[in-house]
A and B are shown apart, each in its own frame.
Chain A
């Protein structure tokens, strides 16, 4: 909303220069976003909040300036207006639904002389960026800017009797609007119609056929109030924009609608001559008014200040409220019709605070009573993130809304129909993802394009699963690894291409840290490995196939990824830590090195060791494995390190040897392992 500095001076005697004024307005809630010279005036562009339609006018802002600077504000030309003679003849107006149009007035003025506007009028309009058309149209715009009340003038001779019906458009009805566009209307759009056809889209834009031109002699001047929601929807449906719609949408003042029309008539008489011939109106004549009771103690305790009662009264009076102090320290505040936003005592408190000055309110610190309850999941998730970044993974954030093709080409969750958004602006926002992995794969691909050698990323975010009653939303952990890690060792560089075991190692580390017990990894074919925690599947790991990689434009690289449902990890919470004693007696270590057919799972061998072994076996783990030229094909070499220990005494070789030999013999029997000499 633009206002011209000198125009404001018509209503209030400003003592500040434009820059100082801009500063004061900003601090009172009228944020001045620019200050420019235009048509010989300083023009302030102000961002008006949606609750203050009264600020969409020069007079409204002048009233504010008066309150801020403590200078008297005067309504000027809008004072002492009276209807002129001739208005006794009635115009019939039909309003189909009073809710759509609470007030409509029409005034017929005969014998106007349409001509270009005088300089002063043209300049003022131009300073606000409004093009001058002719004196009649310019006057309606001038009054709109000045009072905030939109007006419209029709060429009376282009209207067919009866002139005015305010009704919903009929299906497929059309109108050519002032900007020359043909608009197809429907029943959700309010129009002004004469006998045959719509002549204006109500509150938004007039029709071309009834436009006031230099040939016009007689006009019908409209001043009305339309339902804000209807105007807003009409604007959205027709795609039309106008200063009128902007104001009607936010709500115009019923009282102002009448005075604005009279002010326009007076200007028309001055600049274009003519005589008021007839008048008609429909709808409410008096706006309802509210009175709000506010105690000074309410004001001062909510703000943390001590504003005196007279100061509060003065502030509110200058803003146009009618204030009585009754009884002592209590304000009875009558709200003027142009302040429909003020409905309750807190609104009054804000008005006092605004003009008193937010920056005069002191700062204090409240006594916060801390709450015991903690979001347990949140701290577990933080722990997961710490572990992952300590393991060298970079955290990413990707969009929850994605292109449905992204999900499809990943091959993940093809049995799922993603949740759709009703009103996406583009393909990239059309569905909510049911898996984090497609976005992570896309991120990997992006980084490979930037010539990254190795990409290890993770994300923790909600995924969205369709379900009949109510869509399900749950937190998920996604990990994706790709490329070759370069490890510098003392002996030089070692290259390490990431694979599924890297993901496994990462997950195991996370699980251990979170105290997730009893997890296992079960291949389910096609490069997918199910990750089971307890009885349920907590997620899965995936070695992406060539087809998917190709769909993401990735060549000669492999990507391994995993997705884990967070609630499966954190339901247990981070376990409380308990110390268990450090062993006091030494262990005896024995390694088993053997060849075994490579179709026998290491998992099975280790399980066998655990079930067979005596209670003295304290741990068994793989310390080496090899497959290659030095051993027969179809076999691999494994070394398992076994540790025997008793917590109460030192074991002897004589005790351990038979146990260990029996264990080896057992493995030979069960798996046909061939022991090698270490």
Chain B
């Protein structure tokens, strides 16, 4: 038989094989005791003596090639078999990972807002919660015994006559201006306290973020520009804004800032009390008396300040309707953020 034909036949057989059993059958067919190779070897004796040497070498070489081919084909099949035979994991089982914790939603909102102002070049500072009467009121042009103090109804400390729990974050304006000269660009997040009866929208402790920018030639239009950038960053670029005149002792002119209701887009709904607008912060140009208390040269600097309630913004942003949820700390609430 032609050696080349045998080789070709083997390749055909092997490529048709799809299992170890097939390969074994092929091995037996070619290399077995009664296989093709045995026949060839048996045939050597019937050849003329001068041809036997060459033929024998060719048969041996063929045998070697067949052995190699069979075993390499078997290997290839085994690898495939080992992959396909492995039991598949039920991917429906729960994934394995350390469960992440969470950051409190109020903290997330504070970080977001401070981050927005940081992008504009403001630095973030914090101040103490126990304050002096001077920093909380007098230094901010809120005279003693003035009804404007009613709006900043305050917890006083027993045994320390001039100390109180800050009723707003504005005293940090006084602290910073006492120690630093303009230019100043800061935001101050923190806890504040007011003796309010607790209900779905009032608590005796909440968070504010104060902002202050002081330099030469700061204008009301700058205040509007900065607050617009802020509001659109938090609530989306399609909101509308409006500035309403208001009164704060430490700013003049003063404003309250509304955004178009994010629920009804200004049409009027229960969230905005049918007004179409949501008040989000108070702001204004720093009152010259505040600069005077800080010891700044008269008329040299102008600036603006603003303050906002973090809970209110978080409630609007996340659609939360009861402020008490923030401090109940139910994990079913916290884990949503």
What residues make up the interface of A, taking CB atoms closer than 8 Å to B? 26-29, 31, 49-52, 228-229, 232, 249-250, 301-305, 344, 346-347, 349-350, 353-354, 358-359, 361-366, 368-371, 373-375, 378, 382, 385, 388-401, 419-425, 429, 432, 443, 446-447, 450, 452, 455-457, 461-462, 464, 470-471, 473, 488-490
Contact = CB atoms under 8 A, between A and B. Distances in A.
B158 to A, nearest CB: 4
Nearest to A29: B245
Contact of A303 (B99, B126, B128, B220): B220
- Residue among A228, A249, A303, A368 with the highest chain B CB neighbour number at 10 A: A368
Interface stretch (B5-13, B37-45, B102-110): B102-110
Interface in B208-230: 213, 215, 217-222, 224-226, 228-229
Interface string B236-259: 000000111111010011111000
Ranked nearest first, the 4 interchain pairs of A and B with the lowest CB-CB distance are A304-B221, A29-B245, A368-B121, A304-B219
A576 to B, nearest CB: 21
Nearest to A458: B101
B218 A366 contact: yes
Contacts of B328: 446
Contacts of B123: 370-371, 373-375
Interface of B: 93-96, 98-104, 106-107, 111, 120-126, 128-130, 145-148, 150-151, 155-160, 163, 165, 183-186, 191, 193, 195-197, 204-205, 213, 215, 217-222, 224-226, 228-229, 242-247, 249, 252-256, 285, 287-289, 302, 326-332, 334-335
Given A50-B151, A423-B155, A368 B122 contact: yes
A241 to B, nearest CB: 14
5 contacts: A350-B254, A364-B222, A369-B215, A397-B326, A423-B156
B195 A349 contact: no
Contact of A395 (B107, B155, B160, B226): B107
Given A52-B247, A457-B329, A473 B222 contact: no
Contacts of B100: 389-390, 392
A395 B252 contact: no
B155 A422 contact: yes
Contacts of B228: 363
Contacts of B107: 385, 395, 397
A419 B157 contact: yes
Contacts, number: 243
Contact of A302 (B94, B193, B302): B302
A481 B24 CA distance: 63
- Residue among A31, A228, A490 with the highest chain B CB neighbour number at 10 A: A31
Contacts of A446: 328-330
Given A358-B243, A424-B195, A490 B96 contact: yes
Contacts of A461: 191
A429 B195 contact: yes
Contacts of B254: 350
A425 B253 contact: no
A422 to B, nearest CB: 4
Contact of B121 (A369, A398, A450): A369
A42 B253 CA distance: 31
B205 A303 contact: no
A393 B121 contact: no
A421 B163 CA distance: 10
A366 B215 contact: yes
Contacts of A302: 219-220, 285, 302
Contacts of B334: 394-396
Nearest to B254: A350
